[in-house]
Amino acid sequence: MTSGGMYLTNFSLSYINYTTRIVAKCSKVIPTMVMGAFMQGRRYEKKDYFAAMTLVCGVCLFALGDKASLPQFQPKGMVIVCALFIEAVAGNFEEKGLFNVSLPMSHAEFIMHANIFGLLMTITGMTMNGEICPIMGYISRHHKVCFQVVIAASFGYMSVSFILLSIRQYGATNTEIIKALRKMLSIALSLILYPKSMGWRYVAGTAVMVFGIVTLYAIKTRRYMKAAGNAEAFK
């Protein structure tokens, strides 16, 4: 599921622009909540969904701050919707089947197994569609690509490790909220490194996002206190 979601997401980038991908990925909070209710029996009230949708709208509005990067897509790009639900199922499965058990799997062990199966699936797919030979030829001619791949893989490993630890400690839904905020911070950092005019979408997006975060925190805090400190109530 993890590899399938990543493959469909990367495939969709051939038909949608990066801004559309950011907006779609930020919206994954909602399907993760739906899958959490279906797979783990969690009960979310209307105010939970409202607060989550408010947060998503704030991050999406912030991502749309640049008029030059408004969403663009072709019909084939809609496969990203399938990718979102696959990743939502994967996150809840990891939390329920691998971490919330009597003998939980470590995040390092999970990454190792996921990458082994993912590598086999990727090599098979690339061999079948004829991509593997051109890639190997390109790498043989441009040796610096190997170094760049190692650097990218190292950062990817650290990112996935933090995500899995977040799922283990705080649940799949809270992890998706963290990831949505991470995307917003990435955009904010790009504005600092590459200054551009601040439009109303940046300001409005920030305000809506803060409102969504405060609302979610208040809801979860009240539920946590009512449950006498049961950590499950905060998820």
Distance CA 235, CA 233 (A): 5
Distance CA 140, CA 149 (A): 13
Task: Quote the pLDDT of residue 230.
Answer: 64
Helix crossing, 2-12 with 107-128: angle to 10°?
Answer: 50
∠ CA 75-190-76, rounded to 5°? 10
Task: Quote the pLDDT of residue 235.
Answer: 64
Task: Quote the pLDDT of residue 68.
Answer: 52
- Residue among 102, 15, 65, 42 nearest 232 (CA): 42
* DSSP code of residue 234: G
To which H or E segment does residue 211 belong? helix 200-226
Task: Quote the pLDDT of residue 66.
Answer: 57
Task: Quote the pLDDT of residue 19.
Answer: 64
- pTM check: above 0.75: no
Task: Quote the pLDDT of residue 74.
Answer: 65
* DSSP code of residue 105: P
Each residue's pLDDT, cut to its tens digit, for the chain (235 residues) gives 766 677 677 777 677 666 667 777 777 788 888 888 888 887 888 888 888 888 778 777 776 765 555 555 566 666 777 878 888 888 888 878 887 777 788 878 888 888 888 788 888 878 888 888 888 888 888 888 888 888 988 888 888 888 888 888 888 778 877 887 777 777 777 777 776 666 777 778 778 878 887 887 787 777 777 766 566 656 6
* DSSP code of residue 106: P
Q: Cβ(154)–Cβ(161) under 8 Å?
A: no
> Which residues are within 8 A (CB) of 210 and not within 5 positions of it... i.e. 6 or more apart?
58
Q: Cβ(219)–Cβ(95) under 8 Å?
A: no
Distance CA 59, CA 210 (A): 10
Q: Cβ(79)–Cβ(14) under 8 Å?
A: no
Helix (H, G, I), strand (E, B) or coil at 200: helix
Distance CA 37, CA 56 (A): 19
